[in-house]
Amino acid sequence: MKQIFTFAVVTAFLSLAGCSSLSSNKIEIDEQVLLSNLKELASDSYEGRGFSKPGNYRAQEFIASQFELLDLEPFFSEGYIQKFPYTFSGKRRQRMFPIANPDKDLKNVPDTTVVGGNVLVQIKGKTDKIIIITGHLDHLGIRNGKIYNGADDDASGTAALISMAAYFKKNQPNHTLVFAAVDAEEIGSLGADYLVKNFPTDLSKVVLNINMDMIAHSESELYASGLYHYPQLKKSLEGIETPLTLLFGHDEPKNKELDDWTNSSDHRIFHNQKIPFVYFGVEDHKDYHKDTDTFENINQEFYVNAVKLITKAIQNFDTDLK
């Protein structure tokens, strides 16, 4: 996820008054299933879910199996997994697929083409306008013999997608909701980029992207970023009752106190297409991009409440957006 560490303090609290939104605690999800899916995706058996590695493919199949258990409709006619090719060359190829004693200019390093995979389902609404909810399924894989499990980054967002899809399967939305576990965020948002460039319907139908990347590792603070660019989205977030502290920020380029997260994760792909986004995430923590980002080190209570809050936010956007 984010490549820049942040040291600044909070700048803005969301107002909790004057809104008729229901409490986020009224959102009912199976907390045990949510946590079980996060623990599964962050387990050693997935080997850190490195892009194009066996553990990553196992993660794709696991996510697809959970969607299938919920009897959810694939977004693509070919099935739950949207496969895409990517060719590594030069220094990137040598870094990802090292060979012994390459020439200094890497001329003898052959290109390597691999296959990635996004896992997507849809819940059709009363309109064909789309809200797409994303979280990335990949992480850093195995480095120097250590497994980088990526529990917060971003098994947390991916497991949330499954629980949110289960919720909206029982609570039909107005908009068509697409739940997308996208691949290869860690090496440049390749999966999100491929999805946007190969969208199965008119991309102009997408009215909003909700992106979740690191939503499980904080004591109390969750950010909703992007409102500097899309202030019209603010009203749907006001008044959500939650035990968490929901904050705005990390989206203003000239703000010297808070890092700008506008381009920090997959939401930038949608933003570049002029599609409004709200990015939910926490600030970088001691386990960020380390092998200590494990299920044992997340805050389970915070995570459950974050998923409920974001689910309620999606419900509000679904009601408020036209």
Distance CA 11, CA 23 (A): 24
pLDDT band at 90 (very low <50, low <70, confident <90, very high): confident
User: Do strands 141-143 and 112-123 pair parallel, antiparallel, or not at all (unpaired)?
Assistant: unpaired
pLDDT of residue 95: 76
Distance CA 137, CA 107 (A): 33
The predicted-structure confidence for 302-313, as pLDDT tens digits, reads as follows 999 999 999 999
pLDDT of residue 200: 96
Burial (0-12, 13-18, 19+ Cβ within 10 Å), 179: buried
Residue 224 contacts by C-beta under 8 Å, 6 or more apart in sequence?
A: 14, 237, 246, 247, 248, 278, 279, 280, 313
The predicted-structure confidence for 190-242, as pLDDT tens digits, reads as follows 999 999 999 999 999 999 999 999 999 999 999 999 999 999 999 999 989 99
Distance CA 237, CA 188 (A): 29
Q: Is 286 a residue whose pLDDT tops 50?
A: yes
Q: Is 21 a residue whose pLDDT tops 50?
A: no
pLDDT of residue 5: 35
Q: Is 109 a residue whose pLDDT tops 80?
A: no
Across the range 242-253, mean pLDDT stands at: 96
- Closest-CA residue to 51 (of 3, 77, 80, 84): 84
| Cross-strand bridge partners of residue 148 | 141
Q: What is the mean pLDDT of the chain?
A: 91
The amino acid occupying position 283 is: E
CATH number of 12-320: 3.40.630.10
> Which range, of 49-58, 63-72, 103-112, 181-190, averages the lowest pLDDT?
103-112
Element (H, E) at 54: helix 54-69
The predicted-structure confidence for 148-163, as pLDDT tens digits, reads as follows 999 999 999 999 999 9
Distance CA 229, CA 267 (A): 12
Element (H, E) at 180: strand 176-182
Q: What is the pTM of this model?
A: 0.90
- Which one has a higher pLDDT value, 96 or 79? 79
pLDDT of residue 94: 76
10 Å Cβ neighbour count for 78?
9
pLDDT of residue 26: 84
Q: What letter does residue 204 receive in the DSSP assignment?
A: G
Across the range 41-54, mean pLDDT stands at: 98
Domain ranges of the chain: 12-320
Residue 42, both tokens = 């962050």
**Tokens 């959500």 found at:** 240
Across the range 97-124, mean pLDDT stands at: 84
Do residues 139 and 49 lie in contact, with contact meaning Cβ atoms separated by under 8 Å? yes
pLDDT of residue 291: 98
